[in-house]
Amino acid sequence: MKVLPLPKNFDENEIFVLLIIAGLIIVSIYLPKRFPLHLLILLLLINSCIGRTVDTSIAIEPFDIYNSFDDNTHELFDEITYTIVYSLYGYLFYYFYDKFHKIPSWIVVILWALFSTVSERISTYFNVFQYNHWNLLFSFLVYLFVFILHVLFFYWTTKQLKYTSERVKSLQRIGNN
């Protein structure tokens, strides 16, 4: 038994993921530094953890609502997606959530859920996901839940680490009311 089997075929889904990784890395590198290193590490780790937990919960029995990549086994590119793509994508959420602090949290959550749903739809064209009894409305609802978790984690973590920004200050004002 292989711990992380290689893809059966190196085809459009793996190429698509590699292109997404390259794009996310480039965007992340060129954005000005926003978070201290200790907060950045936590944000990257939680993105991967939330993504793994939610995806695993809905992709296994009894739900088994989708497959990823070439078959229904956890392969190398699943791990790459969870570790790199989800981490960097979530980092961009936190970055823009913090930077555009004047936009209410609920609007940011809805916009990122919409953007994520559209991104997922595009990924289905490249066979990254194959649905079993699933549709994009469910994805949108899952993304709403996921980004609400991210907002709560951001608020809790920044409070614990005493990181302040305009978004954090506005969240603290809401929390104190």
* 7 within domain boundaries: no
Q: What is the pLDDT of residues 23-75, one digit of tens each?
A: 999 999 999 999 999 999 999 999 988 888 887 777 666 656 655 544 566 67
Q: Let me know if residue 100 belongs to a domain.
A: yes
CA distance 66 to 97: 29
Residue 2 forms part of a structural domain: no
Q: Please determine, for residue 176, whether its predicted confidence score (pLDDT) is greater than 80.
A: no
84 within a domain of the structure (yes/no):
yes
With bands split at pLDDT 50, 70 and 90, how would you rate the model's confidence at 1? very low
Q: Which residue has the tokens 């305009």?
A: 166
Domain that holds residue 46: 12-28+35-176
Residues 45 and 53: beta-carbon distance below 8 Å: no
Confidence at residue 20, expressed as pLDDT on a 0 to 100 scale: 94
Average pLDDT value over all residues in the chain: 83
Whether pLDDT at 77 is above 80 = no
**Distance (Å, rounded) from C-alpha 177 to C-alpha 174?**
5
Query: What secondary structure does DSSP assign to 9-77, as a single string?
Result: S--HHHHHHHHHHHHHHHHHHHSPP-S-HHHHHHHHHHHHHHHHHHHHHHHSTTT--EEETTBSS--HH
DSSP assignment, residue 6?
A: P
Q: What is the structure's pLDDT at 114?
A: 97
DSSP state of 5: P
Kindly state whether residue 149 falls inside one of the protein's structural domains.
yes
In a domain, 4, yes or no: no
Token code pair at residue 90 = 């979530």
The neighbouring-strand residues paired with 129 are 68
Output the pTM of the full model. 0.85
State residue 150's pLDDT score: 95
The answer to the question of residue 6 being in a domain is no
Domain count, the chain: 1
Bridge partners (DSSP) listed for residue 71: 68
Torsion angles phi and psi, residue 129, rounded to 5: -125, 145
Q: Can you tell me the distance from the alpha carbon of 12 to that of 125, in angstroms, rounded to the nearest whole number?
A: 9
Residue 1 located in a structural domain: no
pLDDT bracket for residue 5 (50, 70, 90): low
- The string of pLDDT tens digits covering residues 119-148 is 989 988 887 777 777 788 888 999 999 999
What whole-number distance in Å separates Cα of residue 105 and Cα of residue 81? 26
